[in-house]
Amino acid sequence: MDIIRQGSPVLFQYNQNKKWLVTVSGDETLHTHIGVIRHADAIGRPYGSRITTNKEKYLYLLRPTTYDYIMKIQHGTQIVYPKDIGYILARSGLEAGQTVVEIGTGSGALTTALAGVIRPRGRVHTFDVDEGFIRIAEKNIRRAGLSKYVVQYTADVREMAEMPVSDADLAIIDLGDPWSAVPQVRRMLRGSGSLFAVCPTMNQLEKLAAALTENEFTDIECTERILRTIEAREGKTRHSFHGIGHTAYLCYARKAYFERDGERAAD
């Protein structure tokens, strides 16, 4: 049995829109519009249990997953969404033990998802120039308990003479001008290694795709993923009325060597 104790991370979930990610502390209480929640009520219960607020509302005690941490990070900053993160994981075939390079840490949502997969022996090397984001990301990564699998750099790889990483299995570029970092990213990737760029606009896809070909990448694939929720209820199953919008387009590619003999294998 998997019991909630003092200090355990718990997602108090009322529904998809009302949930609280907390570290249980016996003497704390959470005041919400669905009532008061005493952390103490959760202690000693197995994950998955439900308790009731003083307003008689059910609240589920879930064990936070990477997904829950990411959705929490979402609030306030623009993040890469699970529907897109999932495609990055599946298309690149990311696995435990691999090395990942991320240009543009942002709030650390994607960093968190990547670290969850490559641990314990793999590493995510993430770069950002914004001190503010770096601190936010550090906090978010720590909260997800993944700090020791992530190496954060306060630097602009485009201005670094020496690349601190080599033979990476996957590189992520999340910059407004993704094409500008392609040469540096190429040097950090192993031959046939995967690259993913997060692009909010079609113009970025267009400029990036051209830069990838120039920089000897192959298997270039640009896609978007539309996630639709279905309300499955007896006799009245239908898609949700609330809409599904745009998050980001993704551009995938793999590092190649165009020279017939691969003598450029140096970079």
* Residue nearer to a copy of itself on the CB measure, 120 or 132: 120
Q: Whole-angstrom Cα distance, residue 36 to residue 56?
A: 10
> Strands 189-199 and 168-173, how do they pair?
parallel
* Residue nearer to a copy of itself on the CB measure, 54 or 240: 240
Residues written for the chain:
267
CB 148 within 8 A of CB 115: no
Burial tier of 15 (Cβ tally within 10 Å: 0-12, 13-18, 19+): exposed
Q: How far is the CB of 247 from a copy of itself (least distance, A)?
A: 8
Which residue's structure tokens are 């540096």? 184
* Residue nearer to a copy of itself on the CB measure, 40 or 51: 51
Q: How far is the CB of 202 from a copy of itself (least distance, A)?
A: 5
Q: Which of 220, 209, 219, 122 has its CA nearest to residue 169? A: 122
Measure Cα distances from 99 to 95, 149, 186, 222 in Å: 9, 10, 14, 23
* Residue nearer to a copy of itself on the CB measure, 154 or 223: 223
Q: How far is the CB of 102 from a copy of itself (least distance, A)?
A: 16
CA angle 58, 62, 88 (to 5 degrees): 130
* Residue nearer to a copy of itself on the CB measure, 46 or 135: 46
* Residue nearer to a copy of itself on the CB measure, 121 or 135: 121
Using DSSP, state whether 10 is helix, strand or coil. strand
